[in-house]
A and B are shown apart, each in its own frame.
Chain A
């Protein structure tokens, strides 16, 4: 089966194609089977391929399956093939994307059951999965760019899925355009890469770097350009602005974007190019700093939001920041590990939030929730597991992965980044439990009407929640930190052949323990604070907000970044273009054209006066002419 690994992305592609072309004639039941099945097939083939390379992977051998389907774009020195590639890094991504993707597909059957564009929804969901699988299985950067843009497109289509709502249509457009800004930088990076490396294929890029053919400043430039692309796709400072608005899409789409596809693309790309990023110290540094800052920054915004999905969106931005932080300090495996655990708990949180919305007839505002614990027992308990995991409570998966990143920061001596990471962690724990308490505990603040309709979601939605909750708990045990014994970090060892160890550092066991204890304490402190603020004395947040109204408003309005971008970029572009059009293009350029025509006709009219048609005028001119000539001759 593994020799057919290149079929992995083609299953959802084929499924999507069928749904697009024949969708209108297909019964709903059929669609509900075909779409998830295609992704399941991808997962099965992914698993087979994984098992194939697994035994080799644990050694130090780089094991990659490679398949060139056909030559794609060949022109002069531009030689790009359509090549699929499957190595350890790909394996992790393929399993996450297709595995979590499959669960989201199943969940969607229930969630979207009533929607009139059911088939369109699944065709897009399949397309999204295809694009992401293409991205992670591409054997070269150009092909990766196809998937890279492909997920951008799908996010546009799915965020704007309910396009009759102007806000949804705008959010989709915003996502695409903001991503495009990053992609422009990505393209330039690609050109530098192709121009200097003469290749875009991953093994050869690594070879060129290890041969030392490339100067480190050039590597830095390329790495930074690619990272600029990643800030768009993975929603980091400064291009994160599209992700919170992406909430306009159906909730399972948010789960897909945040957990399995799209936003993790940047992290994957940086890990894929780990040799390049390690080669350029500066680029790695920038990645780490942007990651750490985003982790804290997005967390602070999440503190004040009341929209349940928006809180989760900012938490994603923040968690992706951690992944970049990990990659930036050279802990690519830890970054990927966090990506992997995050996929479970973030999709869990979103799907559980979707379940809450489902129960409350689409309500998103936590101020109109509360006390849902007893009404939605399964949703509550799974949501709680998700929250515990993301908060970093010991022995849940998020704890291990986040701790691996923070430990590495500390080990590298990047104490400032480590402190930022810890700050982010405490904020995360706080706002997640704020969400839990506001939503599920305390008084019921929803209307009687909604209360009447209140119901736990059907099994097709709750079973995915339970599965994801299960993995959120146990997923971390394949990557245990060194304090629990050597060689227990299977995850890191599996990735070892494809990820270079940039820094070999050893901390004493004592310090390792100390770091773990600090992170655990931090998590509990965050949760405790949330408890104090939102359960024990619910008036405290108000008091705090009125004590520091400026800070509160700044956070609540997301630092006004959207407004600032609008004033700095969007407005000047549109207004400037209008000014140029009405004051330059029409009157001056076009004016010159019409003006020259008018000038000609003006002189034409003057000259036409001579042609009066009257004999006496002509005779007069004739006589005058004769007189002048005679005068000239005679005198």
Chain B
């Protein structure tokens, strides 16, 4: 495609937020409208992207690359089967998030929308970056608007929650930064070329010991983001305090970045370390599944219930990732989308209830169904999607994830299947206490059913839930090539340190299959031909 569609999609929201800067704050509706418009155009452009996406290609496409700061820091973006759906999910959810706060957000409307659009750019940027430096920039930039969204428009404990969220995440990402520069310096030592390009860096084959440390740094940053047990405690706090749109974006998209980081970086960069840490990570994921489910069961606050259910669901997504097979990976990616839809929708619904009752405690509700039948129907479908009822999206992702895990590690699958029961238990119990039974609190009687705006933003989500549930192939086919390519890459690299490798003669870096590069010259015209140099233990100090 000749036009730089990815850049447009990425920066259009930012342009929108600039525009908002120049509009006086009193014109609240104009702010809302412009923000909505920009997010809608972004979404429609991402549909164009989706249509033009060539699912037979494994490597990033619609690539845009230009030098930026030098020293290998390039502006390099593109999209492949791993990121396509996540970009689409993000652009899909932003108009919805903006609509969700249409009436409720009445203070600092201008700033609110500026931050939301700013956040959208940051999020899309993370998913499309192909340069590690650029990735890091977006990764960190995204925290700023989120910090303010929770800190300004959040609940009573918003300052505590937002600082916890930012510091927790920062802590992980700073370690990642160190690892990124270490990796960068290794690459320079090996080739004499500065590069932050992910595609270059993945060609490095690092010694297992080195991999271990770098992997840990990356993995920690991502595990906090997911969040993997035991790094999950920022999540309930942030969710409970965040405004509806913040919770939706947080749960539906930000959490996915952790998983995406594993997919895009940690797994292909450090396959040996991955193999080494797979048991640990899987056990943590598994604990997350069961632990998150049990914690969700006893929450008194609807939002923190959904937050813990996210811990449980994300655990399954991570577990399937580490199964390292096509079913698991595709299930995992699809389940990210599903979780984004179902949990996003659940937060929207909680937000709708909150706007009416100004409480999130389960015990303050009861009998809402009679008062709000339309909401009850939407709530039901979204809950069932989260439970994984066949016919809806959650099932397809869940069964692929579980089957992927089953193929690789049977015992893990036996235990992970409990999520089927737990999810039904905590969600149905919550639904019963909120929606069913007689009306015990008088304020429930004053609840008005959904208005058109609310129906308008919930309905597309529900349609997608059915669509993915009934015809998932439409989405699965987009990822086949990239997923298989990733698996192949990991497998090739894992084979490299086989038994024949002599441990004392530890080579730091080894050329990868550079013939492949040459056969595809179009791609690296801008890059000098890679001349790999072997570095031996004697030549270099241990990192």
> Using a CB–CB distance below 8 Å, which chain A residues touch chain B?
20, 70-78, 142, 145-146, 148-150, 153, 156, 160, 163-166, 169-170, 173, 176-177, 180-181, 183-184, 187-188, 190-191, 194-195, 573-574, 576-578, 580-581, 585, 589-590, 593-594, 597
Contact = CB atoms under 8 A, between A and B. Distances in A.
Contact of A181 (B402, B421, B429): B421
B402 A75 contact: no
B473 A72 contact: yes
B473 A191 contact: no
Given A177-B428, A590-B233, A578 B298 contact: yes
A574 B233 CA distance: 20
Nearest to A153: B389
B471 A70 contact: yes
B327 A75 contact: yes
A150 B391 contact: yes
B19 to A, nearest CB: 38
28 contacts: A73-B472, A73-B476, A75-B326, A75-B476, A78-B399, A142-B399, A145-B390, A149-B389, A150-B389, A150-B390, A150-B391, A160-B436, A163-B370, A164-B370, A164-B438, A166-B437, A173-B428, A173-B432, A181-B421, A184-B420, A187-B402, A574-B297, A574-B298, A580-B295, A585-B295, A589-B230, A593-B164, A593-B234
B437 A169 contact: yes
B20 interface: no
A150 to B, nearest CB: 7
Contacts of B230: 589
Interface of B: 164, 167-168, 230, 232-234, 291, 294-295, 297-298, 325-327, 330-331, 367, 369-370, 377, 384, 389-391, 395-396, 399-400, 402-403, 406-407, 413-414, 417-418, 420-421, 424-425, 428-429, 432, 435-438, 470-473, 476-477
Nearest to B477: A74
Contacts of A164: 367, 370, 436-438
A177 B430 CA distance: 13
Contacts of B395: 146, 149
Nearest to B417: A184
A77 B295 CA distance: 35
A593 B227 CA distance: 14
A597 B233 contact: no
B472 to A, nearest CB: 6
B421 A180 contact: yes
B142 to A, nearest CB: 21
A177 B428 CA distance: 8
Q: Which DSSP category, helix, strand, loop or mixed, fits chain B's interface?
A: helix
B240 to A, nearest CB: 13
Contact of A180 (B420, B472, B476, B477): B420
A163 B436 contact: yes
Contacts of B384: 153
A478 to B, nearest CB: 34
Q: Which DSSP category, helix, strand, loop or mixed, fits chain A's interface?
A: helix
Given A184-B421, A194-B403, 18 more contacts: A72-B472, A73-B396, A73-B400, A75-B326, A75-B331, A76-B325, A77-B326, A149-B391, A149-B395, A150-B389, A164-B367, A165-B437, A173-B429, A173-B432, A188-B417, A574-B298, A580-B291, A581-B295
B413 A191 contact: yes
A78 B327 CA distance: 7
A183 B413 CA distance: 14
Contact of A195 (B295, B406, B420, B473): B406
A145 B234 CA distance: 37
A576 B291 CA distance: 11
Nearest to A24: B373
A491 B361 CA distance: 58
Contacts of A576: 294
B504 to A, nearest CB: 39
6 A-B pairs with least C-beta separation: A76-B326, A169-B436, A146-B390, A590-B233, A577-B294, A163-B436
A78 B402 CA distance: 11
B294 A580 contact: yes
Contacts of B400: 73, 75, 78
A560 to B, nearest CB: 22
Contacts of B164: 593-594
Contacts of A573: 294, 297, 425
Nearest to B398: A187
Nearest to B423: A180
Q: Select the residue from A72, A78, A573 with max chain B CB neighbours within 10 A.
A: A78
Nearest to A163: B436
B402 A191 contact: yes
Nearest to B431: A173
Contact of B168 (A75, A169, A578, A593): A593
Contacts of B425: 177, 180, 573
Nearest to A582: B298
Given A75-B330, A585-B233, A187 B168 contact: no
A164 B403 CA distance: 39
A76 B476 CA distance: 10
B391 A146 contact: yes
B428 A149 contact: no
A530 to B, nearest CB: 39
Contacts of B234: 593
Q: Select the residue from A72, A75, A150, A184 with max chain B CB neighbours within 10 A.
A: A75
Contact of A74 (B168, B297, B406, B476): B476
A78 B417 CA distance: 18
B399 to A, nearest CB: 7
Contacts of B436: 160, 163-164, 166, 169
B108 to A, nearest CB: 28
A596 B396 CA distance: 41
Contact of B473 (A74, A145, A146, A188): A74
Contacts of A156: 428
Q: Select the residue from A164, A181, A190, A577 with max chain B CB neighbours within 10 A.
A: A577
A7 B417 CA distance: 34
Contacts of B435: 163
Nearest to B487: A76
A1 B438 CA distance: 48
Given A187-B420, A574-B298, A597 B167 contact: yes
A184 B295 CA distance: 20
B383 to A, nearest CB: 11
Nearest to A191: B406
Given A76-B330, A187-B402, A191-B402, A170 B418 contact: no
A582 to B, nearest CB: 9
A593 B233 contact: yes
A76 B234 CA distance: 36
A187 B389 CA distance: 12
A20 B377 contact: yes
A226 to B, nearest CB: 14
A303 B428 CA distance: 33
B186 to A, nearest CB: 30
A281 to B, nearest CB: 25
Contacts of A145: 390
B219 to A, nearest CB: 18
A164 B435 CA distance: 9
A177 B425 CA distance: 6
A296 to B, nearest CB: 29
Nearest to A174: B428
Nearest to B237: A590
Contacts of A72: 470-473
Given A589-B233, A597-B167, A78 B403 contact: yes
Contacts of B470: 72
Nearest to A590: B233
Contacts of B406: 188, 191, 195
B375 to A, nearest CB: 14
Nearest to B472: A73
Nearest to B484: A76
Contacts of A176: 424, 428
Contacts of A142: 399
A272 B453 CA distance: 48
Q: Select the residue from A70, A184, A188, A574 with max chain B CB neighbours within 10 A.
A: A184
